[in-house]
Amino acid sequence: MKNSTLTGWGIFILFIITSCAPKGSDDKASPFSDDVASKVYVAPGQFDEFYAFLSGGFSGQMSVYGLPSGRLLKVIPVFSLDAEKGYGFNEETKPLLQTSYGFIPWDDAHHPELSQTDGVPDGRWIFINGNNTPRVARIDLSTFETVEIIELPNSGGNHSSPFTTENTEYVVAGTRFSVPVPQKDVAVETYKENFKGALSFISCDPVTGHMNVAFQVLLPAFNYDLAHSGKGASHGWTFFTCYNTEEGHTLLEANASQYDKDFIAAINWKKAEEYVKQGKTHDFPTSYYHNVYDDNSHMATSEQIKSVKVLIPDECPGLVYFLPTPKSPHGVDVDPTGEYIVGAGKLSADMSVHSFSKMLKAIEDKAFEKEIAGIPVLNYDAILAGVVKSGGLGPLHTEFDATGNAFTTFFISSEIVKWKVGTWEVLDRAPCYYSVGHLMIPGGDSKKPFGKYMLALNKITKDRYLPTGPELSQSAQLYDISGDKIQLLLDFPTVGEPHYGQGIPASLVKPKSKQFFNLADNAHPHVTKSEDQAKVVRDGNVVRVYMTTIRSHFAPDNIEGIQVGDKVYFHITNLEQDWDVPHGFGVMGATNAELLIMPGQTETLLWEPLFEGVFPFYCTDFCSALHQEMQGYVRVSKKGSTVPLKWWTGSSK
Ligand code: K7E
Ligand code: CUA
């Protein structure tokens, strides 16, 4: 949302930044008091209380921080190549980045979302969307590694994603850009007749987590922006914001801002399941990839899927309703009870809150304003619970605490407003530095918020950090929300642009954290389980090196008989069975990244030597006192040479 907003509101922002810079919300909130420092101080050797997972935006990755310290714990590669970990460079992870467009080394990742059980984050998995080439990834929180990526058919930009239902029955994914469905070569001017917006419901296996596009719902050619699923009473429904209900296809900053109200689309997914069972779906031909990484074979595999089940609302009464919501709504957030659905109209000052029970009543009473493509538009007044008169400008996103309060970000006025759910009364406000997008409260979009802290995820940092040339860091700001007043505690820079985040008590994740992979369980097709099984095998011009690592040598560490034009696969197994002892592997002149092999794991580097000579390889991770000795040589001879294939460690074989 960064670019479009900036062009439209640039002047406004400048005004706001200069006008609200150094004000705190009150004296107590002064970030300079000792009290504040002690609240974020995590003594050396101590652990943080919460994990925070922040999206990397255009970095394509997800980063993990400790709260309250703001310590960066890990950057998890998801959609983008990561040479540090060999992600997308080694043969094992390449299939994760396969799509129907081929190998794609990047995406734009906006929304991390933790898996839930009974509406509460359970610390098993975290999902994140790829916005550009529509995908959803699943990260396993025992390894903090990406283990699955599924592509979304019939979609053009996967933004309202991957918000989960109460028991992670589904993660949802709505298309930001409507596109021709199925894709075809048509004039852009035929937008209204040929374009559609697909909302996807991705089922998630309760044991393995494996994802599957269970069904899609085909809606009018609006832009579907954000989503949240119901909880408690509203469990069984998912709510998607739409803007551009004008169905413009050019100069959207004006053309998609004509109407007074756009919609929140309420999807009754339990009803959808019934229609799927009754065979009301259409099988649409398509092509999309489903890529799964297996922790025993240490390999990812790709499957291409050729059709998808689609529901058409016109044929499925009761499946979809439109909730009129002022003015190009961005975020849609459901309070912990599931009764209130907050729509943040980003071009309005006030926020409309819908009531779920009133919505059901309006459906029963047929309180409809009109129908669009067979979808009833509910009467705005009939479903309205209340309006938050915030005094802020440009509301985007809302999260909740455990005591009935809501917190909403305001992009244009750079602040977070605290208000009471049910009375809609504004209780407090705190400035953000600057241009806040999402916010995150641990469990803040779940049934039982953990509360205590709030993170503001800011787009612009200007004068907050030492300058680093034209590109400045994006930023998170940590607030204490345990008292009546919001108190600013800490700024810390982020990796990429943190659109959304999720937070969870460390106690729900830490005990499950894997320390190493069991070598006995290693089912990699090219594993080497002990040094005496190390070998080099030639098959035509393909050479496979079955290599092991253990402190502090490779086996083999001398190899001869490789020829220019060979494809050399180094299949390296790390024999260590201890925590925090990866070995690395780099070879001179390889047009590839290093390998970083976890204990018990096998990874593969492909090297295609171009020249004759003798080339060193070495361990890239400082693994022991004799790490600098962890090295070897490969001799490369000319094509067709009679130098025999030989390998050894220590004495010549
Ligand atoms: Cu508001 Cu992509 Cu969720 Cu950015 S989005 S802020
Ligand atoms: Cu192994 Cu350094």
Q: How far apart are CA 70 and CA 498, in angstroms?
A: 14
Q: Report CA Rg, the chain.
A: 27
Which pTM was predicted?
0.94
pLDDT at position 33: 58
| Tokens of residue 150, six digits | 């599924």
How confident is the model over 489-517, as a mean pLDDT?
A: 97
Q: How far apart are CA 54 and CA 503, in angstroms?
A: 9
Measured by CA distance, the residue closest to atom 3 of ligand 1 is: 499
Ligand with minimal distance to 618 CA: 2
Q: How far apart are CA 414 and CA 308, in angstroms?
A: 42
Residue in 116, 484, 179 with CA at minimum distance from that of residue 334? 116
Distance from Cα 584 to the centre of ligand 2, integer Å: 6
* pLDDT tens-digit readout, 86-98: 999 999 999 999 9
CATH superfamily name and code, 50-512: YVTN repeat-like/Quinoprotein amine dehydrogenase (2.130.10.10)
Ligand with minimal distance to 586 CA: 2
Residues carrying CATH 2.130.10.10, the chain: 50-512
Q: How far apart are CA 635 and CA 338, in angstroms?
A: 67
Distance from the Cα of residue 248 to its chain's centroid: 28
Q: Band of the pLDDT at 27, cuts 50, 70, 90?
A: very low
Cβ of 402 less than 6 Å from ligand 1:
no
Ligand with minimal distance to 620 CA: 2
| Tokens of residue 600, six digits | 């018990």
The CA distances from residue 237 to 147, 356, 521, in Å, are 28, 10, 41
Of all atoms in ligand 2, which is nearest to the CA of residue 619? 2
Q: How far apart are CA 608 and CA 586, in angstroms?
A: 13
- In CATH, 526-648 is 3.10.310.10: no
pLDDT at position 18: 37
pLDDT at position 30: 52
Per DSSP, 90 falls in state S
* pLDDT tens-digit readout, 325-360: 999 999 999 999 999 999 999 988 889 999 999 999
The CB-based long-range contact list for 594-598 (8 Å cut-off, 24+ gap) reads 594/83, 594/84, 594/86, 594/620, 595/86, 595/90, 595/570, 596/84, 596/85, 596/86, 596/620, 596/621, 597/549, 597/572, 597/573, 598/516, 598/517, 598/574
Q: Band of the pLDDT at 8, cuts 50, 70, 90?
A: very low
Assess contact for 344 and 279: CB atoms under 8 A. no
Cβ of 228 less than 6 Å from ligand 1:
no
Bridging pattern class, strands 72-76 and 98-99: unpaired
Bridging pattern class, strands 567-574 and 602-607: antiparallel
The residue assigned the tokens 């010549």 is: 652
Q: How far apart are CA 201 and CA 217, in angstroms?
A: 8
Q: What percent of the chain has pLDDT over 90?
A: 93
Burial of 252 (C-beta count, 10 Å sphere; 0-12/13-18/19+): middle
Residues carrying CATH 2.60.40.420, the chain: 526-648
How confident is the model over 578-582, as a mean pLDDT?
A: 98
Distance from Cα 524 to the centre of ligand 2, integer Å: 22
* pLDDT tens-digit readout, 453-470: 999 999 999 999 999 999
Of all atoms in ligand 2, which is nearest to the CA of residue 584? 1
Q: Mean pLDDT, the chain, as a whole number?
A: 94
Locate the DSSP E strands across 553-593.
Answer: 553-555, 558-563, 567-574, 583-587
Cβ of 330 less than 6 Å from ligand 1:
yes
Cβ of 619 less than 6 Å from ligand 2:
yes
